[in-house]
Structure 1
């Protein structure tokens, strides 16, 4: 019996304690509001971080309009060849003692003047240079004799004139 009394006494003591205070409706709403604000702040921070990381650091340069240019040197001599092409990156090349024929094709920026120069060696001979723009020969020149020289160039229209229908058909103005 003594065990029953102890067991019942503990149960009675537990019932005699003060009941828990009822939760007010405002404390539940406050917690939900706090969670909603926290979630909103996290989402906003994520969107800002994505925007900063996704945007390019520096503006990209506009593409430079170009034209296909072919340089050609032919003949029966040994020559020094200089060619200049201004494209996405300016190119200048000097070839000494070059055997012929020699050809080079590059895209050259509009508004520049692609040029090829040749100089024969001391033995002389004959050599010629040509420049073609978009497959159409624009200029030809010939060098003869010891240290003979020739230059071929083709001024390209600037970008303002590049959008004309004649240019799009491969013809130069």
Structure 2
């Protein structure tokens, strides 16, 4: 290849479909594994329930959704599904109650070539 020629376009990172869901009563703070190539976390403050987010998470990352109740408390349940299959659910109760749901995505297969 000669200098200045364009190389192959960057390869896309393989992903898997992930669904985060939070149900219950009250207003909560939700932090979840984002869809960026680096899989950075994103936060939704004062989220109204029910809340649902469907994204594609890079393989090799651990999808996670965390829930924190406010001072008034209440109850909130998180649920996590990967490729449409339920993986985990958990419940937070009371003032400043916390919980999280997490799963495992396989590492991407090494590319040949």
* Shorter-chain TM-score above 0.5: yes
Aligned pair count? 109
Question: How much has 1:91 moved relative to structure 2?
Answer: 4.5
Partner residue in 1 for 2:67: 118
Alignment of 1:129-144 (within 5 A): 129-144=78-93
Gaps of 5+ in 1: 1-51, 162-173
Partners of 2:35 and 2:48 in 1: CA distance: 25
Larger Rg belongs to: 1
Using CA pairs under 8 Å that are at least 6 residues apart, name the structure with larger relative contact order, 1 or 2.
Answer: 2
Higher helix fraction (1 or 2) = 1
Partners of 1:77 and 1:159 in 2: CA distance: 38
| Contact residue 122 and residue 147 of structure 1 kept, 8 A | yes
Higher strand fraction (1 or 2) = 2
Gaps of 5+ in 2: none
TM-score by length of 1: 0.57
**CA 1:111 to 1:89, structure 2 compared with 1: closer, same or farther past 3 Å?**
closer
Question: How much has 1:101 moved relative to structure 2?
Answer: 0.5
